[in-house]
Amino acid sequence: MSPVNVSSIGSFIREQREQAKISIRQLAQAAGVPNSYLGQIERGLRKPSADLLQQLAKGLRISAEVLYVQAGILEDRPHGVSVRTVVLDDPDLNERQKQMLIELYDSFRKEAALAAGPEAALAAGPEAALAAGPEEPGDASPHAGDAESTSETESASKAEPEHMVPSPAASR
């Protein structure tokens, strides 16, 4: 974690407040602090707590993470660093745990992509794109209206996912 530059977080808060066209009084009220205290933060005389940064973020309608990064509480994640990379580089996880986490993460991404539609499914990967179905609203799936294939799909969705590994206790 980088050291907190009190004046830079204060300046950043002031810039965000001014861009949002919010008075210092309005933001202080939204954050539940006196105007004078917020003024001292903006001038770099006081260091805001994480809780106060969260309240300020709500009042400014920005992500608390943005303020945490500016305050040095969180490190800014470099662009291009993926969840997959972080999991694979974690020395505290064994290979099985890494594999399970990546499979779980991929399944959540595919699920979200399917819910968002075919374009997002393409971005999530070819398997999710195929599962998303036809791209054009007029296109019909090969089994449209086929009650038997619908019931097969429903029963398959209720089955245990392929990527789940039974616990050792379940196999006894």
Ranges of each domain in the chain: 6-71, 79-137
pLDDT band at 5 (very low <50, low <70, confident <90, very high): low
Instruction: Say yes or no to pLDDT of 44 above 80.
Output: yes
Q: Is 157 helix (H, G, I), strand (E, B) or coil?
A: helix
The pLDDT assigned to 1 comes to 44
Mean pLDDT of 140-152: 43
pLDDT tens-digit series, residues 11-42: 999 999 999 999 999 999 999 999 999 999 99
pLDDT in tens, 104-123: 999 998 988 888 876 655 65
- Read off the amino acid at residue 68: Y
Each residue of 66-108: pLDDT tens digit? 898 888 888 766 666 788 888 888 889 899 999 999 999 999 9
Name which of 49, 7, 18, 15 is nearest 32 in CA terms: 49
Residues 29, 40 contacting (CB under 8 angstroms): no
Measured CA distances, 157 to 107, 123, 150, 151, 152 (Å): 13, 23, 11, 10, 9
- The mean pLDDT value for 134-140 works out to 44
Query: What global pTM score does this model have?
Result: 0.46
Mean pLDDT for the chain overall: 75
Where does the pLDDT of residue 125 fall: very low under 50, low under 70, confident under 90, or very high at 90 and above? low
Which class in CATH covers the domain with range 6-71?
A: mainly alpha
Residue 8: per-residue pLDDT = 87
The predicted pLDDT at position 148 comes to 43
Residue 106 tokens, joined: 């991929």
pLDDT at 79: 66
The answer to whether 51 touches 31, Cβ cutoff 8 Å, is no
